[in-house]
Amino acid sequence: MTEPTVALLRDAGLLSGEPGALYREWIRWTLASGLTPEQVPGRARDEGVTAGTFEPLAARTVWRGPDGRPYVRVDDARRARELARLAELLNGGRPSLSDPRRDRNTWSYTGLFGLNAGDAGTAVRRGALVATPEGTMMAAAGRRALRAVPNPVDWFAARGGTTWGEIYLVNGSHDDPAEVLRTTVESGGRPPGSGAPSLARLLRHERIHSEQWARYGYVRFIWEYVIRHDPRKPCEHPLEREAGLADGGYRC
């Protein structure tokens, strides 16, 4: 259905010339999201998609899940939000609808859990980061600076990991964090330490946590998650129940 959709985009005045491979891939994933070819020009118009939209991804490292879905490695903190947004769009998502969430979670890109040269700030120094189809990011920490001192991520991530704003932090310290992310993405399995049934379902669960961070704000989310409710009882925790217990790997 790609070629008929390309023709419709041309007829609508939204495409001129020959579309690149990533533009065609955007069409395929947008159709896979449930749209008909006739609806794709409207989506392109709403999201501002042009033939050059995906050019920033051309030189980027792209890892693919078993279903072929693209995940974009983030190696430049200054472009993290842009790459996360493009990864969501390329996968047939609607980043214009999730931009308000990113606006509310803007602290994710700065500060303790913010980005620094591709790492997730102090908490994941020497780590690696990848933009996911959900429009959020997944990070893995590098090795500990000192053998006897825990990596800061180990203080803030529990079980298989924890979401802080827009960043899902895989638990633990890793000699090769980029390889941890790559193998997790390409296998489609759960990250180290997680009990989730699959990476796709886990990221859906964690994206809802990102929405909760945006809804409550930094201070109130911590109050709701850690103080008002007991995080040691996830099956009774309203924020975990909202995010989907099964998707998060909780067996209740």
Residues 6+ away with beta carbon under 8 Å from 236: 229, 230
pTM of the predicted protein model: 0.92
Summarised one tens digit per residue, pLDDT across range 83-133 is: 999 999 999 999 999 999 999 999 888 766 667 767 776 666 678 999 999
Is 170 domain-assigned? yes
The tally of domains found in the chain comes to 2
Is 98 domain-assigned? yes
Q: Please report the pLDDT score of residue 147 as a whole number.
A: 53
Range of the domain at 16: 1-53
Domain shared by 127 and 177, yes or no: yes
Q: Please report the pLDDT score of residue 146 as a whole number.
A: 45
Q: What pairs with residue 129 in β-bridges?
A: 74, 139
Is 248 domain-assigned? no
Contact 213, 164 (CB under 8 A): yes
Domain shared by 183 and 118, yes or no: yes
Domain shared by 165 and 213, yes or no: yes
Helix (H) or strand (E) segment spanning residue 164: strand 161-164
